[in-house]
Amino acid sequence: MEKIVFKPIGIIYSPFKETKGTPIQPEGARGVKGRVEIFEEYAEGLKDLEGFSHIILLYHFHLSKKSALLVKPYMDNNLHGVFATRAPSRPNGIGLSIVKLEKVEGNILFIEDVDIVDGTPLLDIKPYVPQFDIREVKSIGWLEKNIHKLPHSTDDGRFRKK
């Protein structure tokens, strides 16, 4: 199979200057403001985005160390398969966050509920559409007993490149 190479379309800016202490999901980052600078060559692609209240950001976990297939995630002390977690150390370090879109000014997006480290390369943006994206969920696996920890869970540095 061919190698896949991504080129960033922009940079995400946030108050979090390092991984340690960064909220681990947008739910734990309520009210945290940030912005996204879209590179000029992609700015035309922002047309009509301001009509959406929320957007999905796909980005590169550029500060995460090489992945392992078994990881100890933030909200549990047991090893789990990396694909049963949202750990940032992954075979393909792709992150996903659903954030509130406050406004668009030229090639700058002003966002809220940001759980992303400052300077993170942005790979793509998609509008969040509840009719497409919300599913009735019956089970959340091992997280069922740990989900209550989310509002206070932050990155402790365990997945950071050394």
Q: In this prediction, what percent of the chain has a pLDDT beyond 70? A: 99
Query: What is the amino acid identity at position 155?
Result: D
Positive or negative: CA dihedral 11, 20, 25, 138: positive
More confident residue, 76 or 99: 99
Query: What is the length of the chain?
Result: 162
Mean pLDDT of the chain: 90
* Domains of the chain (ranges, CATH numbers): 10-148 (2.40.30.70)
DSSP 56-101: EEEEE-TTBPPP-SEE--TT-SS-EEGGGS--S--SS-EEEEEEEE
Query: Quick one: how far is CA 83 from the chain centroid?
Result: 15
User: Span 109-138, mean pLDDT?
Assistant: 93
Tell if the pTM clears 0.85, that is, is over it.
yes
Q: Helices (DSSP H) in the chain: which residue ranges?
A: 130-133
Burial class (CB in 10 A: 0-12, 13-18, 19+), 67: middle
pLDDT at 150 over 80: no
CB count in 10 Å sphere of residue 75 = 18
